[in-house]
Amino acid sequence: MSAAVLSAPWLIGALLLDHFLGEPKRWHPLVGFGLFADYLEATLNRDSARRGRGLLAWALAVLPLTLGAWALASLPIIGWVFSLLLLYLAIGLRSLAEHAEPVIKALREGDLAEARLRVSYMVSRQTDELDEEGIARATTESVLENGSDAVFAALFWFALLGAPGVVLYRLSNTLDAMWGYRNARFRQFGWAAARLDDALNYLPARLVALTYALCGRTRQALHCWRIQAPAWDSPNAGPVMAAGAGALNVSLGGPAIYQGELHQRPTLGAGPQAKAEDIDRAVKLVRQGVVLWLLTLAVLWGLLYA
């Protein structure tokens, strides 16, 4: 507990940097990491690739950088600044809103073509035939899930393990996004990346689900989490999106097309189908959750040093 409490200044500092600066405009370290990951995949993911090669690729991509982060973060003074910058680069709260706002604007103006284009930047499903409700649903789901992955989980692992924790998590999450597909190319090679990301997200996702519930319709959100989440194909996205949808009193889930295949997904949440205003409400829910986490740490900080 004390390690998490002691991390509060770094968490607040990184969130302030993210709020005022946003993501780097020209070059983000994760872009360079993605190129390196592509090289590893092209080298090791052969026709005969099995799970062992995928695990080796994950280790080569993640572990040296995690150890390097630990070494640099251990340095006096420089380590403090380095840790702050790492956490700032790992979170994407402002980016989440910046991706959602053009979708909201296009929907309010009735420009479905622009809305489909904008939501395609946020989701992996096919968007070219989505109607207004489908666009709003996909965007709301993305905000709730990425709020967990790109904001809360990064804060959690930094609070728990500092700079090496957030590097371990963020790189693992990036590899899952790149390799964690259940298709012929990645089913075996990407297995380790997907399972390790599931493990690293297991506890943060449930804390996020509880946070969403506390910031909205609590009883309904907890009910949706308990009843609906087990039917979702992702063990972590299910609790997050079910609780978030219940907290917002909106219905998410349902059929979606991924890589040309129709997936019949269960319904999440309760209430009417998502609309443009629900995207904005989802962004606000994520922000309220971050404030709740910071207030909790502030109270614990006060108790620790009282």
The predicted pLDDT at position 280 comes to 96
The predicted pLDDT at position 305 comes to 62
The predicted pLDDT at position 6 comes to 61
pTM score, two decimals? 0.92
Segment holding 15, helix H or strand E: helix 8-21
- Average pLDDT by stretches of 10, the chain with 306 residues: 64 93 84 93 83 94 97 92 94 94 95 94 88 94 95 94 95 94 86 96 96 96 96 94 97 84 88 94 96 83 64
Determine the angle formed by the axes of helices 8-21 and 78-90, rounding to 10 degrees.
60
Dihedral over Cα of 295, 300, 301, 306: its sign: positive
Residue 251 phi/psi, 5° resolution?
Answer: -100, 130
User: Among residues 127, 140, 148, 137, which one has the least CA distance to residue 259?
Assistant: 127
The predicted pLDDT at position 1 comes to 44
| Burial class of residue 141 in the structure, from the number of CB atoms within 10 Å of its CB (0-12 exposed, 13-18 middle, 19+ buried) | buried
Show Cβ contacts of residue 206 under 8 Å, excluding neighbours closer than 6 positions. 239
